Chains A and B, each alone.
Chain A
Amino acid sequence: MVKRIVVGAHYGSGDWLAQRITAVVMAVYTLLILGIALYKGGIDYAVWQQLFSGTAFRVATLLFALALLWHAWIGMRDVWMDYIKPAGMRLTLEVLTVVVLLGYAAWLVQILWGQSK
């Protein structure tokens, strides 16, 4: 029987693939931003404000953020697993990581859609 550890690397191949797919999503978004900056010949407040007033760009930014959230979760969990041996402390750090990442996501939604423009 496979011995499963709650704070171990349980379902590795799925995470491995997710890490790579989310990385590609973020790389594409990075190129998009670079392309916009080059196309506009630099970014000032007017360009920036107009960019983020469009729903398409807000959704693209949210997709980037969700990819980042997932990517950072897998990466930070790997770091905790490599360096933190006591299971209790590892679990605590993993839970903190999830809470912080979800907080970041909520903050971004508030920035993108919460402020009246």
Chain B
Amino acid sequence: MTKPRPVYLNLVQIRLPIPGIVSILHRLSGAALFLVGIPLSLYALQGSLLSAASYDKLAAALTHPLGKLVLIGLIWAYLHHLCAGIRFLLLDLHQGIELKPARQSSVIVIVASLALTLIVGARLW
């Protein structure tokens, strides 16, 4: 007798545990950094080194609300990817691999990356 088993392929129905959320955000932030972060950073680096005028122009563009939104989003993506990456390195070294500390470190990663984003954002503006 084969029992009907639930198949959760509906993304809205899937309830990810916190470590799973950190994991998928690690992947999403990585993809965003590759697709948007690297080219924008190179463009900004080029402008920032060209001349004092283009440096100021760039700084002005980053005070525009849209510029702020993109910048703060990319800063979060970088910091989340960094914090989650440090957690994965520790897991590789068999630090905190039990369920409870693994959940706790996931919460720490989410909170720390958001807090660091706020600190960097506050320093920038």
Contacts and interface: CB of A to CB of B under 8 A. Distances in A.
Nearest to A46: B52
Interface string A73-117: 001100100000000000000000100000010011001000101
B55 A48 contact: yes
Nearest to B78: A30
- Chain A: interface size category: 20 to 34
Nearest to A82: B27
Interface string B51-84: 0100110000000000000000000000000100
A30 B41 CA distance: 14
B82 A107 contact: no
B38 A45 contact: no
Interface in A8-54: 20, 23-24, 27, 30, 45, 48-49, 52
B39 A49 contact: no
